[in-house]
Structure 1
Amino acid sequence: MRKKQLKLILSFVFIMSLLFLAVGCGDDTTSDADEATGETEDMFEAGTYTGVGEGYNGDIEVEVEVDSESIQSIEVLEHNETEGLTDDVFDNIPDEVVNDQTIDVDTVSGATSSSEGLIAAITEALEEAGGDIDRLRNGRAEQETATEDVEYETDVVVVGAGGAGLASAVSAYENGAEVMVLEKMPQVGGNTLISGSAYNAVDPERQEQQGIEDSVDKHFEQTYEGGDEEGDPELVRELVENAYPTLQWLEELGMEFEDEVFTVLGGLWPRAHKPVEPLGTGYINTYMNYIEGTNDEVQVLVNTEVKEMIMDGDKVVGVEAEGENGKVTVKAESVVLASGGFGADVDMRNEYNTEWPDLSDIPTTNHTGATGEGIEMVKDVGANLIGMDDIQLLPMGDPETGSLSGNIEQGVENRIFVNKEGNRFVDEGARRDVMTNALFEQPDSFMWIIVDETSYPTGDTVNNFNESIDDLVEAGRAYKADTLEGLAEKIDVDPDNFVQAVEEFNEGVEEGEDELGRTLFDQKLDSPPYYAGGRVPTVHHTMGGVEINVDAQVINEEGEVIKGLYAAGEVTGGIHGSNRLGGNALADVNTFGRIAGESAAKQK
């Protein structure tokens, strides 16, 4: 409240100073009539105006109310930005513009495109109102932020508030610990929040209802061999055996999953669970709702970046961090590192990359905070790093942003890929690295995903990112036609090649296999309307990182446990080997997050 009052006071002082200058000095913002009467020129034409700006996932529309002298209110009418990741954008930016009477406000870290889109929409509305945009861009009073160092003591401190970090925090609390979570970004969620959300687990009840035969041993075999047997067999076994109990734990915490499982891209088998809530919001909301009920025995601090571990001899006993207003020191009995991977750090991924072409210009699905500082930090306390060159790319990036949004596939079985010539070029049920390498060999490393009415029975049917197919078509991110020839024309591919590609796929559905070696089929592509969506390679997951054991304890370069230090999630290595199965990341994040929290709590 005090901060807002201070902003209002400063804004009033600023406006009054402008009025004084205008009246007393006769600056060029006043007319001759104003000088004669002592009145200033109106800032706006009073009324309500709308504006539109381009966000990350589409247009952002706002309504701005002004009187003749000031901005009175801002209401966001419509947007398609990611829930959770952009909450701070829509909660804070309108208030800052009104309070400071300026559009010169800071963007929200990790949500820059959404921030810029909202500011652009507000700017357009103010232009309609007759506002002097240059003046509105330079109206913010400078404020100094007081620095204040703070120190806390707790049982367990968790570094990172993504899926693994929040799972660790909840698990540690359930096992009797007080917990603090430190997150460098302005919001919680990490990569989990913007993920496709698929969670692999052998689930007897759901799979048997669908007639799917599966086993933990099969999940182990596909995970271990799918990573070229480079993962630690003990860690792989720990993952596959605990994935389903952890899913049940999530359900006990209140999370909901759909009744049917499916095969996610590169998952190799139908065991992926889809949350009811879109993207990864279900995981994050479940944990945060639980944390809010702990009466501050689990505290989460955002905008707080951990810089180093505190050591007492050979034991980790806390962390040093930089907060919004100064240094933050947290003394603890144990530390859980859950700071994520390095997919968004171009220099770091190029440093370790040995398999792919230069990754400098390849976009990423990762949030902007996935920059690997946690991995570099624990090297200073002797942590061993493994598999750092194992970087996963997907053939599923948005052509403009590299994100997973806009992907029109609903599952592996009912879609095909074609290149710019209209030809299929790979088994669409293969490993992710196999599909991505094949895509790099196609013209412009570009492909079209092709589906039909089976995937989208109605125009308001949504994809795995809660985007309706009608909205994607309207935005030009997908294309629709009632015939294959019509779709070929819209996406500018050879119609003969395209029709032949679909016919060959349909023959494979009948025979159970095709010339490309595909074996995962369900329905033919023969039910119009037909849809196409473009995709390119994108950096998705870094499988390498900190070495851990089955209790999530961090291992040093001598093969010994580092006392007091645990790790979980994408910051770790040794589980997935050279290639991660689709759907195994969320199983890993939550399973080992739960294990790390329990192990850390038991040490206290």
Structure 2
Amino acid sequence: MTTEIPTPISASELRSWSDDVDVLVIGAGMGGVSAALEAASEGARVLVIDRGGRLTCTTAMAGGHFYLGGGTPLQEAAGFTDSPEDMAKYLRAMSPECDAEKIRVYCENSVEHFHWLESLGFSFERSFFPGKAVVQPGTEGLMYTGNEKCWPFHEIAAPVPRGHKPPIVGDTGGASFVLELALDRLDALGVEVRYDTAATALVTDTDGAVTGAAWKRFAESGAIRAGAVVIAAGGFVLNSDMVAAYAPRLTALMRRGMPLGNSYDDGLGIRLGESVGGVAEHMDGAFFTSPFYPPEEMLKGILVNVEGSRFVSEDSYHGRVSSFVFEQPGQQAFLVLDSATMAEPHYGFQSLVDGWETIEEMEQGLGIPAGALDKTLASYNAAAESGQDPEFRKASEFVVPLDNPPYGAYDLTPGKAFYSGFTMGGLRVTVDGQLLGADGAAVHGAYAVGACASNIAYDGAGYASGTQLGEASFFGRRAGRHAAAVARRSR
């Protein structure tokens, strides 16, 4: 692996072009395909290249949630009232460093984007899954996939579910289902997706504008001339050198875990953008998860660190909980339950440390200072008698006294528990996906979308399932439209 930035090629050095198109898209995941569809719909001549094969992208590995709201037909059918304003309030609270204009545009156009997704050839089931789960187990179309119901966020914006899932049973398959439909639409529009074809460098003119890309396919190579280039080549979780340099917390996945990405998530898209003056931001941002629910019974326990202190509300989104675990002393954390609440995690990612008859024995077994966990449990149990949690305000349905020994604890410590995760940083772009340089000016002819771009999702503590698929497809479409317009003007 490498952190090396490819050197751009001057167009004046090229003797010939293998192809001449209006818009070249690098990457055939959700962001790239959405950009290609929109550019082609605008009348542009589009070509997509991808290093892998059909549906080998990271999108195809995702569960399939799209974070949508503002009053979608599915929300209304399920009896929920949402507005772009409330959706924006929530996203601003979860991603305070994000450009507020991106959040505003995303929320105000979310309903239109819902209809666009369904126009690909499917319908979200008009049903709601009320339980606390990672992904709806059946074909239910809607569920809570973030921290909308958790304090303090439910006081900032009215809690509404926004996790829209295609009608696919189980934890995975929803995203590949939608992507397959999108690729079929590209085929119908006559847009070629050229697989096993890697971009090796961007091509620029004398003014620094991006005018194409060099490529390699097995023993063949060449250069594609384009009026605009959309980079949609994924994140960098599979590049150990980039992870160590920019997001070292993700190295925990190498001890016991799984990077969530395809083999080409090596940061090449980000490095291509940097090669022409683009700037990467939030590169230390990372998503981690090791969900201990379902079953919901697990949420009645309390999470403590090695000092015996609680550190996050247990009913928070699993990614938020995991992000907080990584901030604890020694990254050590335990889920403590008593005999009345003890259950087994559905996914089996955490192991049971042991069982103990007394709190004192549990403190010794977990390496927690004497009396620390006893104090935490005493305070929690006293308030829980009346269904209250004044420290973190966990939902009352999950608040019960933990005073029925024996006690047990699951270990959430990275390396002992199984974690998966992915990178969240990427190239700085405008609301239309234009690549931005250090001076804030757009690099002419260059765009970035999907996991190699920095948009709404940049921090695991503020992430909600569906944000990446939602923003990849939404901002991919905007980039495709803008790139098509720029390419027409440049010809």
Asked if Structure 1 and Structure 2 have the same fold, meaning a TM-score greater than 0.5 normalized by the shorter chain, the answer is yes
Equivalent residue of 2:143, what SS?
Answer: coil
CA distance in 2, matches of 1:313, 1:266: 49
Deviation at 1:332, TM superposition (A): 1.9
State whether residues 51 and 198 of structure 2, in contact with CA within 8 Å, keep that contact through their aligned partners in structure 1: yes
CA distance in 1, matches of 2:282, 2:113: 26
State whether residues 552 and 592 of structure 1, in contact with CA within 8 Å, keep that contact through their aligned partners in structure 2: yes
State whether residues 350 and 358 of structure 1, in contact with CA within 8 Å, keep that contact through their aligned partners in structure 2: yes
Question: Alignment identity in percent?
Answer: 24
Cα 1:563/1:303, change in 2 over 3 Å? same
Cα 1:357/1:272, change in 2 over 3 Å? closer
Q: What is the match of residue 190 of structure 1?
A: 57
AA matched with 2:241: D
State whether residues 65 and 163 of structure 2, in contact with CA within 8 Å, keep that contact through their aligned partners in structure 1: yes
* RMSD (CA atoms): 4.5
Which of residues 472, 478, 484 is equivalent to 1:595?
Answer: 478
Could you give the per-residue CA deviations for residues 523-572 of structure 1, whole angstroms, max 9, x where no partner exists? 7899xxxxx99755546343332111122111222222222212111211
CA distance in 1, matches of 2:480, 2:385: 46
CA distance in 1, matches of 2:176, 2:23: 20
TM-score by length of 2: 0.69
Deviation at 1:296, TM superposition (A): 6.8
Verify: 1:276 aligned to 2:167, yes or no: yes
Q: What is the match of residue 426 of structure 1?
A: 312
Q: How does 1:242-253 map to 2 (within 5 A)?
A: 242-253=109-120
Verify: 1:571 aligned to 2:452, yes or no: yes
State whether residues 384 and 556 of structure 1, in contact with CA within 8 Å, keep that contact through their aligned partners in structure 2: yes
CA distance in 2, matches of 1:442, 1:415: 23
Verify: 1:159 aligned to 2:54, yes or no: no
State whether residues 383 and 390 of structure 2, in contact with CA within 8 Å, keep that contact through their aligned partners in structure 1: no
Verify: 1:370 aligned to 2:370, yes or no: no
CA distance in 2, matches of 1:412, 1:215: 32
AA matched with 1:273: H
Deviation at 1:306, TM superposition (A): 0.9
Cα 1:444/1:295, change in 2 over 3 Å? closer
Which of residues 181, 196, 216 is equivalent to 1:303?
Answer: 196
Could you give the per-residue CA deviations for residues 492-537 of structure 1, whole angstroms, max 9, x where no partner exists? 999xx99x98x979986974x51441344657899xxxxx997555
AA matched with 1:281: G
Deviation at 1:343, TM superposition (A): 2.3
Deviation at 1:202, TM superposition (A): 1.7
Cα 1:296/1:591, change in 2 over 3 Å? closer
Larger radius of gyration: 1
AA matched with 1:557: A
Could you give the per-residue CA deviations for residues 233-290 of structure 1, whole angstroms, max 9, x where no partner exists? 1122222223332122111212343422322255665322222225563333334334
Cα 1:207/1:411, change in 2 over 3 Å? farther
Equivalent residue of 1:551, what SS?
Answer: coil
State whether residues 238 and 265 of structure 2, in contact with CA within 8 Å, keep that contact through their aligned partners in structure 1: yes
Q: How does 1:534-573 map to 2 (within 5 A)?
A: 537=414, 538=419, 540-573=421-454
Deviation at 1:376, TM superposition (A): 1.0
Give aligned pairs, total. 414
AA matched with 2:446: L
State whether residues 70 and 85 of structure 2, in contact with CA within 8 Å, keep that contact through their aligned partners in structure 1: no
Q: What is the match of residue 68 of structure 2?
A: 201
Could you give the per-residue CA deviations for residues 447-473 of structure 1, whole angstroms, max 9, x where no partner exists? 5699xxxxx9xxxxxx9xxxxx6xx6x
Q: How does 1:276-295 map to 2 (within 5 A)?
A: 276-277=167-168, 278-279=170-171, 281-293=173-185, 294-295=187-188
Which of residues 360, 377, 392 is equivalent to 1:517?
Answer: 392
Cα 1:387/1:523, change in 2 over 3 Å? closer
What runs of 5+ residues in structure 1 fail to find an aligned partner?
1-148, 398-405, 451-455, 457-462, 464-468, 527-531
AA matched with 2:464: G
Verify: 1:216 aligned to 2:84, yes or no: yes
Q: What is the match of residue 278 of structure 2?
A: 383
Verify: 1:581 aligned to 2:463, yes or no: yes
Q: What is the match of residue 243 of structure 2?
A: 349
Deviation at 1:602, TM superposition (A): 2.5
Cα 1:449/1:586, change in 2 over 3 Å? farther
Deviation at 1:187, TM superposition (A): 4.1
Equivalent residue of 2:463, what SS?
Answer: coil
Verify: 1:437 aligned to 2:312, yes or no: no
State whether residues 70 and 107 of structure 2, in contact with CA within 8 Å, keep that contact through their aligned partners in structure 1: no
Deviation at 1:593, TM superposition (A): 1.2
Q: What is the match of residue 174 of structure 1?
A: 41
Cα 1:437/1:524, change in 2 over 3 Å? closer
What runs of 5+ residues in structure 2 fail to find an aligned partner?
1-15, 129-141, 154-158, 338-342, 368-372, 402-408
State whether residues 230 and 576 of structure 1, in contact with CA within 8 Å, keep that contact through their aligned partners in structure 2: no
Equivalent residue of 1:341, what SS?
Answer: coil
CA distance in 2, matches of 1:173, 1:548: 22
State whether residues 165 and 337 of structure 1, in contact with CA within 8 Å, keep that contact through their aligned partners in structure 2: yes
CA distance in 2, matches of 1:244, 1:566: 25
Which of residues 203, 214, 234 is equivalent to 1:320?
Answer: 214
Q: How does 1:81-96 map to 2 (within 5 A)?
A: none
Equivalent residue of 2:435, what SS?
Answer: strand
Q: What is the match of residue 229 of structure 2?
A: 335
AA matched with 2:392: G
State whether residues 203 and 244 of structure 1, in contact with CA within 8 Å, keep that contact through their aligned partners in structure 2: yes
Equivalent residue of 1:248, what SS?
Answer: helix
Cα 1:326/1:525, change in 2 over 3 Å? farther
Deviation at 1:361, TM superposition (A): 4.2
State whether residues 184 and 302 of structure 1, in contact with CA within 8 Å, keep that contact through their aligned partners in structure 2: yes
Could you give the per-residue CA deviations for residues 136-191 of structure 1, whole angstroms, max 9, x where no partner exists? xxxxxxxxxxxxx9922322211111211121122222222232221122343533
Deviation at 1:322, TM superposition (A): 1.6
State whether residues 412 and 520 of structure 1, in contact with CA within 8 Å, keep that contact through their aligned partners in structure 2: no
Cα 1:493/1:413, change in 2 over 3 Å? closer
Deviation at 1:309, TM superposition (A): 0.9
Q: What is the match of residue 405 of structure 2?
A: none
Equivalent residue of 1:317, what SS?
Answer: strand
Cα 1:183/1:208, change in 2 over 3 Å? same
Equivalent residue of 1:549, what SS?
Answer: coil
TM-score by length of 1: 0.57
Which of residues 143, 162, 185 is equivalent to 1:262?
Answer: 143
CA distance in 2, matches of 1:553, 1:392: 23
Equivalent residue of 1:300, what SS?
Answer: strand
CA distance in 2, matches of 1:535, 1:181: 42
CA distance in 2, matches of 1:199, 1:581: 12
State whether residues 102 and 455 of structure 2, in contact with CA within 8 Å, keep that contact through their aligned partners in structure 1: yes
Q: What is the match of residue 10 of structure 1?
A: none
Equivalent residue of 1:156, what SS?
Answer: strand
